[in-house]
Amino acid sequence: MFNTTVWNRLRYTAYAPFYDAIATRAFRRPRRIALGQVDWEPGMRVLMVGVGTGLDLPFLPHDIELHATDLAPTMVKRTAKRAERLRRDVECRVMDAEALNYPNEHFDVVIMHLILAVMPNPQQGLAEAHRVLKAGGQLCVMDKFQPDTQTARASRRLLNILTSALATDITRQAHPLLSEAGFLIRHDEPVLMNGLFRALLAAKPTLSS
């Protein structure tokens, strides 16, 4: 009941001042691994969905076109300031990941780090990512996931009531979510906490595939 768009905007506005202190060091290596899976090419148009405070920026190539969105205006402002410090040209916009205001097939890469386990409707968020990606485009995901081979136990589902309200869903499964959204999973690697956090690279199929 607490995992709503309005609630997420409120809580991440509250988390913004101390978000970096918690997330910078803990997720430095997972971010590097996840972004290292992408087949980068100069001139790519890239969208960071749920960008937070822009902690992915140091690990991205400099010869790409960057766009960033987040639900919380405070997060977007912090990303813009980080981009300025790093001398990165980033178009930052306040936007709901489940209703992206971009044309169809507009991006070469979509990055979704630590957002699929947070948004109220990850299926809709992935549908939007699929829509704005070009055919053959890449989806870079890093998040916490329940193992694909087993459903969440009752104790985990009970704990999830609390974690969903405060931070994140701990019962979502990566492969079903990505596959049902129409993505082809190319790589899946555990990156933190014995595989609780995973980095996945997926692609939007081309007509030939």
User: If you search the block for the tokens 């971009």, which residue do you land on?
Assistant: 102
Q: How confident is the model at residue 159 (pLDDT cuts 50, 70, 90)?
A: low
Q: The whole model's pTM is what?
A: 0.93
Single-letter residue type at 198? R
Let me know: does 188 contact 174? Beta carbons within 8 Å.
yes
- Concatenating the DSSP letter of every residue in 32-46 gives HHHHHTS---TT-EE
- What would the pLDDT profile of 84-134 be if each residue is shown by its tens digit? 999 999 999 999 999 999 999 999 999 999 999 999 999 999 999 999 999
> Above 60 in pLDDT, residue 1?
no
Q: How far apart are CA 164 and CA 119, in angstroms?
A: 10
